[in-house]
Structure 1
Amino acid sequence: MAYLAGDIGGTKTHLSLVVEEKGKMVRVKDQKYPSQKYPNLRQIVKEFLKGESHEISKACFGIAGPVKKRKSQATNLPWLVDCDVLEKELHIEKVSLINDLEANAYGLNMLSEEEYYVLNAGDPDAKGNQAMISAGTGLGEAGIFFDGRRHIPFPGEGGHVDFAPRNALEDELLRYLRKKFGHVSYERILSGPGLYNVYQFVVVLITAPDGIEAGM
């Protein structure tokens, strides 16, 4: 039995083909594609599966965006991903969509202790709730609550929450970004493009003799 797994992001789409052998999951093919160069997810999957002999029974894709009624409009891509369409066109029995950070959160328990890096040492509670953030093309967030027996991930779109400045410098940053974008979310600051936004702000801050307003 074969399964298709995918991570769908604004920059890249990462696909893996997995087969079940003697009760274990074995990855037999793995490929990354530049998302922006394709008109939709179907074209990428078709290219990935070209010449493949394994018959896929189920597929699951983690996508950067909210999932509603088995559909998702990708946040940083002009793609509408529809499970029903994928099942029909790719001849896969069952296709599922979940938020990409929710998918990542499911994998946390698979990491070894050596794969963690402690930024701020604290007093972790093995039965406490958890949170996960990931800065990439956008800012993804997920929560992980403990139901008394196990940790269960759930998706969030916290990257689109309004940026709340904490001091005078961040007030200036908010004004600068508001002139460029109108609405300023945390994703405008904490992401790949966001870091460039902050860089541009710092350049203006340093080079404008009369302050930010003069440099805009």
Structure 2
Amino acid sequence: MFEPILVADVGGTNARFALVTAFDKTTKEIVFNNIQKFSSLDFDSFADVVAAYIDTLESVPNNACFAVAGPRKKDTVFLTNLGWQFNVSDIKQQFGFANFKVINDFAAFAHASPYIDNTANLVIKGGHSHSDGNIAVIGPGTGFGAAALVKGEEQNVVLSCEAGHISLAACNELERNLITALSEEFEHVSVEHVFSGQGIENLYRAMAKVHGQTAKNFDAPTITQLALANDDDICVKTLNQFCDWIGAVAGDLSLTFNATGGVYIGGGILPRFQDKLLASEFVKRFVAKGKMQHIVNDIPVILITQDNIPLLGAAASLDTK
């Protein structure tokens, strides 16, 4: 008999919880119940938001796995964009979980990748995935996440990382000028400084500076809205650059992870302007890898538009016999 699993996806903006009441890895069938979303900013701590969800349940499940937007160091987990930290053993004891696991949200994404239905999502770049090839998962959201499902002969392993904080590379004169402008604000210009919600705002200010204009006090949704409506030239250039440049970053990470099994892109940003992404130079920039172009040419890239992927991954990371 299947024991329910409490799963969560706790990010810098929202915390989503659910009960998994059925999960068949063979048929890829999963049943979620009592899905609820909370604003992370409404709570002072990780324990507080967990307690808010548990208060909605009749009983506390024995098994729980939470996907969180931040790294883990031994027993301590850091939620980078919230300023929260907690000890795994303390949470396990406080809520009485018999089995409790905490993984990075993009590690959960990687765990979920074998169960994703590509036909339910958007193909950005076609290709031929290798069944025994590694799978890379990346995505801009509140921050920038990345992980990989590394295929082994006997078992698969998920590799977590902090790729959002690697240095952002320039591939042409405009990007070199943009990085110079960004360097006036940030000592270290990382991937996340451009490819995240706040990153769109950073890129907009840099784009205005490079074009000799004064940036307006626009937030990311406004920049996106004006760009899609063609109502502001700098906003249009910003969104075009965002879509082009992330293709180069995705191609870099596909080589880093040797992702011949495919690249999945998640996060809450790119699904908002799918047509712009498809019309951009994403694919051209993805494959522009010199001697390695013959490798990346074959790698498919899928934009995730379906819901509950981190929750699925949290469940998939546990033994569900």
TM-score tier by shorter-chain length is 0.7 to 0.9
State the match for 1:12 in structure 2: 14
Is contact 2:134-2:150 (8 Å) kept? Answer: yes
Distance across 2 between alignment mates of 1:203 and 1:43? 41
Residue type at the aligned position of 2:61: I
Kindly indicate whether residue 119 of structure 2 is the aligned counterpart of residue 114 of structure 1: yes
State the 1:151 CA deviation: 4.1
RMSD: 2.3
Distance across 2 between alignment mates of 1:21 and 1:118? 26
State the 1:132 CA deviation: 1.1
CA change 1:168–1:103 in 2 (3 A) is: same
State the match for 2:135 in structure 1: 130
State the match for 1:214 in structure 2: none
Residue type at the aligned position of 1:100: D
State the 1:172 CA deviation: 1.4
Distance across 2 between alignment mates of 1:30 and 1:183? 39
Distance across 2 between alignment mates of 1:143 and 1:27? 25
Name the SS of the counterpart of 1:104 in structure 2: helix
Distance across 1 between alignment mates of 2:210 and 2:97? 54
CA shift digits 1:153-172 (9 cap, x unpaired): 22111110011212221111
State the match for 1:100 in structure 2: 105
Is contact 1:132-1:143 (8 Å) kept? Answer: yes
More displaced stretch, 131-140 vs 168-177? 168-177
Kindly indicate whether residue 187 of structure 2 is the aligned counterpart of residue 182 of structure 1: yes
Residue of 87, 93, 97 corresponding to 1:88? 93
Distance across 2 between alignment mates of 1:110 and 1:66? 24
Is contact 1:70-1:96 (8 Å) kept? Answer: no
Name the SS of the counterpart of 1:119 in structure 2: strand
State the 1:21 CA deviation: 9.6
Indicate the structure with greater helix content.
2
State the match for 2:292 in structure 1: none
CA change 1:51–1:158 in 2 (3 A) is: closer
State the 1:55 CA deviation: 3.0
Distance across 1 between alignment mates of 2:95 and 2:155? 34
Residue type at the aligned position of 2:129: P
Superposition pairs of residues 27-106 of structure 1, within 5 angstroms:
27-106=32-111
Is contact 1:159-1:185 (8 Å) kept? Answer: yes
Residue type at the aligned position of 2:92: E
Is contact 2:67-2:105 (8 Å) kept? Answer: yes
State the 1:93 CA deviation: 2.0
CA change 1:27–1:123 in 2 (3 A) is: closer
CA change 1:20–1:127 in 2 (3 A) is: closer
Give the TM-score taking structure 2 as reference length. Answer: 0.60
Distance across 1 between alignment mates of 2:30 and 2:86? 26
Is contact 1:2-1:56 (8 Å) kept? Answer: yes
CA shift digits 1:41-66 (9 cap, x unpaired): 11111111115213310211111111
Higher RCO structure, 1 or 2 (CA under 8 Å, sep 6+)? 2
More displaced stretch, 32-41 vs 87-96? 87-96
State the 1:68 CA deviation: 2.1
CA change 1:18–1:129 in 2 (3 A) is: closer
State the 1:113 CA deviation: 3.2
State the match for 1:213 in structure 2: none
State how many pairs are aligned.
Answer: 209
More displaced stretch, 148-157 vs 119-128? 148-157
Is contact 1:31-1:48 (8 Å) kept? Answer: yes
Residue type at the aligned position of 2:153: G
Distance across 2 between alignment mates of 1:51 and 1:121? 43
Is contact 1:3-1:57 (8 Å) kept? Answer: yes
More displaced stretch, 145-154 vs 6-15? 145-154
Is contact 2:17-2:35 (8 Å) kept? Answer: yes
State the match for 2:4 in structure 1: 2
